[in-house]
Amino acid sequence: MSETPAQPPSAVSLRQALGFWLKLGLISFGGPAGQIAIMHQELVEKRRWLSERRFLHALNYCMLLPGPEAQQLATYLGWLLHRTWGGIIAGALFVLPSLALLIGLSWVYLVYGDVPLVAGIFYGIKPAVTAIVAQAAWRIGSRALKNGWLWSIALASFVALFAFNLPFPLIVLGAALLGYLGGRLLPERFAIGGGHGGAQKSYGPALIDDQTPPPAHARFSSLHLLKIVLIGALLWCLPMGLLTLLFGWEGPLTQMAWFFTKAALLTFGGAYAVLPYVYQGAIGHYSWLTPTQMIDGLALGETTPGPLIMVVAFVAFVGAYPLSIPGIGDGFVAGAVAASLVTWFTFLPSFLFILAGGPLVESSHGQLKFTAPLTGITAAVVGVILNLALFFGYHVLWPDGFAGRFDWPSALIALAAAVALFAFKRGVIEVIGACALVGLGITVLF
């Protein structure tokens, strides 16, 4: 058994970090829960670029924001390590490989239609994703739920979603309020790592440790905040104004840009919370694609690296593919342009939230009045992820509903994936790859 290192790792260059963020963008399968788990393993446990508490502090803030929390966390950590460009590089590399893959896969999907080979691979991956989400709930819960009060918040959030289907923003606000009140009335229970079992597993001193003061660029400045807000407004207004000028407000690209801007700002809880909004608007209001195409797009999003919200690129590609857009054309070019534009408008707010709010979050590190509400939110998110695992399990094991057949091959794949993850500590990529091969074999044989 290896000993815990006595010294923090040496400083990390931007070039070294760039290599890691590119690797993360290529291997970040398993949805937001799996992606956060990968970042924790790599940055906290193995590389020790930052401590457990600093990681959770950043994660709490990203969970509070609308948009994809895993991509925002990567942006935050890149910014904390290497200033603004570090954040931009980390966040962009988390998205770009997925965008390129989804543009290609969307074209193949539309041109070649149903492919038995792909269907078999999807059949094996879906139960694996269920096991990965369940493992993420366990991993985050084992770190965050340190006492009965936090367990109660997690249970309450699970019941609120599972039994009453309450909106995620309401759950977040309720958890934050409980955390705030808990921080005032029971501060020892809502301090990070407080309560029974509060001692964390030590991975050794980190480059950015618990007591490491925020770097100069992470200190709050009203002038810096104003600068980021003005730049962000410009980066949104220029392309939106150009689209309106070229195609009119009712043009398909303009409407896509506006719709996905609202999706990025109005939906909380990450990708899984934004999907119902996208589903209703893209199918019910705009008719950019059919319900069947949307479900297939979700399957593609779940089986490609990057944030699951990248399904918006599939929606835009399919919606623009049959259109003849003046000055752009139709087919692949129209779809690729639409997918790229939608990605820009979906993720721009995420970058701005981190670059503008990061210094304020770092200044609140260790201050209970700020951290206690975020501790409550993290506890609630454990219940939300558990609910998601059950949701996936239901649709995978009973694809036709409880009145239909029980899909026992999927159940065996999910069980094997869970054993591989929990008992043998296998990596997410290994599990997904093995389950994809098993699913392909089942569809070929049966």
Q: Return d(Cα 178, Cα 171) in angstroms, integer.
A: 10
> What contacts 319, CB < 8 A, 6 or more positions away?
252, 256, 282, 286, 288, 289, 338
Please write the tens of the pLDDT for every residue from 73-88: 999 999 999 999 999 9
Say whether 268 sits in a helix, a strand or coil: strand
Inform me whether the pLDDT recorded for 136 exceeds 50.
Answer: yes
The confidence score (pLDDT) of residue 276 equals: 64
Q: Return d(Cα 234, Cα 255) in angstroms, integer.
A: 19
Global pTM? Answer: 0.73
The confidence score (pLDDT) of residue 271 equals: 61
- For 170, the token pair is 């309401």
Q: Return d(Cα 388, Cα 33) in angstroms, integer.
A: 10
Mean pLDDT of 3-11: 76
Inform me whether the pLDDT recorded for 192 exceeds 60.
Answer: no
Mean pLDDT of 362-383: 75
Q: Return d(Cα 261, Cα 256) in angstroms, integer.
A: 8
138: left (phi over 0), alpha (psi -120 to 50) or beta: alpha
Rg (CA), the chain: 22
At residue 368 the predicted structure's pLDDT band, cuts being 50, 70 and 90, is low
The residue written with tokens 């975020």 in the block is 374
Using CA of residue 267, residue 380, residue 384, residue 139, what is the dihedral sign?
A: positive
DSSP string, 175-222: HHHHHHHHHHH-HHHHSTT-STT-PPPP----SB-TTPPPPGGGS--H
Please write the tens of the pLDDT for every residue from 257-308: 999 998 888 665 556 556 667 777 888 788 899 876 876 777 677 678 888 7
Please write the tens of the pLDDT for every residue from 303-327: 788 887 898 999 999 999 998 888 8
Inform me whether the pLDDT recorded for 30 exceeds 70.
Answer: no
Inform me whether the pLDDT recorded for 6 exceeds 70.
Answer: no
Mean pLDDT of 246-256: 94
For residue 378, how many other CB atoms are within 10 A of its CB? 26
Domain map of the chain by residue range?
98-192+215-445
Mean pLDDT of 419-440: 87
Residue 212 phi, psi dihedral angles, 5° rounding: -65, 125
Q: Return d(Cα 183, Cα 177) in angstroms, integer.
A: 10
At residue 335 the predicted structure's pLDDT band, cuts being 50, 70 and 90, is very high
DSSP H/E element including 267: none
At residue 4 the predicted structure's pLDDT band, cuts being 50, 70 and 90, is low
Please write the tens of the pLDDT for every residue from 198-230: 445 567 888 988 888 888 888 888 999 999 999
Inform me whether the pLDDT recorded for 195 exceeds 80.
Answer: no
Please write the tens of the pLDDT for every residue from 152-189: 999 998 999 888 878 766 887 898 899 889 888 888 78
At what angle are helices 69-112 and 332-363 packed, to 10 degrees?
170
- Mean pLDDT lowest for which of 170-174, 197-201, 358-362, 430-434? 197-201
Q: How far does CA 425 lie from the centroid of its chain?
A: 22
- Better-predicted residue by pLDDT, 94 or 119: 94
- For 84, the token pair is 């603004």
- Residue 315 near residue 288 (C-beta atoms within 8 A): yes
At residue 107 the predicted structure's pLDDT band, cuts being 50, 70 and 90, is very high
Best CA proximity match to 265, nearest among 360, 348, 344: 348
Mean pLDDT of the chain: 84
Q: Return d(Cα 32, Cα 270) in angstroms, integer.
A: 8
> What contacts 348, CB < 8 A, 6 or more positions away?
232, 235, 236, 264
The confidence score (pLDDT) of residue 115 equals: 65
For the chain, give the percent of residues with pLDDT over 70: 89
Inform me whether the pLDDT recorded for 114 exceeds 80.
Answer: no
Mean pLDDT of 31-49: 85
At residue 1 the predicted structure's pLDDT band, cuts being 50, 70 and 90, is very low
